């Protein structure tokens, strides 16, 4: 039988190893993801490069124009929603509220929530939605724009999807993912915004870019 003192020592060593493994995992760099495109070099060879981040100009809840220049140097957390969504949008909103509570005052972060229903979600509707969400500064922006452009940027810049579907609840299909981008506009993480475990992982990963 092991002596109590030896058991305590073994337990302490095991705890240290677990802590070290967790710390090592938390310090691991995030992968670099994102849409890719094939480019032909002058010698005829084909190379695979990250697709360029597209230009856009959307309106936020205050009626101001948001474009890539106005987001320069920021870490971005992106999602898609619509204010009358009867399904996953409530879970997405709750998840983003957690992120905002933890990092909403960090000037290096911008949360970009894109409405997929720009017809109904006017600037006034988005302003009310943002107020109800508790977004008190410009670190959380609720965006609207040409629906075709919103749908295209979801696919081309964020590897996400949006579609009009009359059979879907609310009339739209959209991804429930939260997409994390670094200041170079490379995707560094994709998280299920309806999963508590995935949101917890996001809250671990986000400081790696903000710091």
Radius of gyration of the chain, Cα coordinates, nearest whole angstrom = 21
pLDDT at 3: 52
pLDDT at 198: 98
pLDDT at 174 > cutoff 80: yes
Report how far residue 12's alpha carbon sits from residue 187's, in angstroms, rounded to the nearest whole number: 39
pLDDT at 25 > cutoff 70: no
Find the helix or strand (DSSP H, E) in which 177 lies.
strand 177-181
Lowest-confidence segment of 21-25, 110-114, 156-160 by average pLDDT: 21-25
Report how far residue 129's alpha carbon sits from residue 134's, in angstroms, rounded to the nearest whole number: 9
pLDDT at 7: 39
Whole-angstrom CA distances from 65 to 19, 62, 117 are: 46, 9, 18
In terms of pLDDT, which residue wins out, 22 or 44?
Answer: 44
In terms of pLDDT, which residue wins out, 9 or 170?
Answer: 170
The pLDDT tens digits of the residues spanning 58-115 come to 999 999 999 999 999 999 999 999 999 999 999 999 999 999 999 999 999 999 999 9
The answer for residues whose C-beta is within 8 angstroms of residue 85's C-beta and 6 or more apart is 169, 170, 172
Q: Which two tokens stand for residue 51?
A: 């697709």
Q: What percent of the chain has pLDDT over 70?
A: 87
Q: How many helices (H) and strands (E) does the chain have?
A: 5, 11
Residue-averaged pLDDT of the chain: 87
Question: DSSP readout, 84-106?
Answer: T--STHHHHHHHHHHHHHHHTT-
How much is the pTM? Answer: 0.83
Of 188, 183, 187, nearest to 153 by C-alpha is 187
pLDDT at 18 > cutoff 60: no
> Which residue's entry shows tokens 């971005």?
76
The pLDDT tens digits of the residues spanning 118-138 come to 999 999 999 999 999 999 999
Domain 55-210 has what CATH class?
A: alpha beta
Q: Which two tokens stand for residue 154?
A: 């979801």
pLDDT at 147 > cutoff 90: yes
């Amino acid at each position: 039988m092991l002596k109590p003192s030896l058991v305590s020592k073994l337990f302490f060593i095991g705890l240290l190893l677990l802590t070290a493994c967790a710390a090592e995992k938390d310090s691991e760099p995030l992968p670099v993801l994102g849409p890719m495109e094939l480019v032909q070099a002058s010698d005829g060879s084909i190379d695979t490069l990250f697709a360029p981040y597209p230009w856009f100009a959307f309106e936020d809840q205050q009626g101001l124009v948001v474009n890539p220049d106005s987001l320069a140097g920021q870490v971005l957390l992106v999602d898609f929603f619509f204010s009358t969504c009867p399904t996953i949008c409530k879970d997405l909103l709750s998840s983003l509220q957690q992120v905002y509570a933890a990092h909403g005052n960090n000037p290096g972060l911008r949360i970009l929530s894109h409405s997929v229903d720009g017809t109904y979600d006017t600037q006034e509707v988005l302003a009310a939605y943002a107020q109800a969400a508790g977004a008190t500064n410009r670190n959380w922006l609720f965006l609207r724009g040409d629906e075709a452009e919103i749908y295209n940027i979801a696919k081309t810049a964020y590897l996400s999807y949006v579609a009009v579907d009359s059979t879907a609840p609310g009339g739209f299909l959209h991804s429930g993912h939260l997409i994390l981008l670094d200041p170079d506009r490379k995707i560094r993480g994709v998280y299920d915004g309806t999963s508590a475990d995935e949101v917890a992982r996001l809250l671990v990963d986000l400081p790696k870019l903000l710091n």
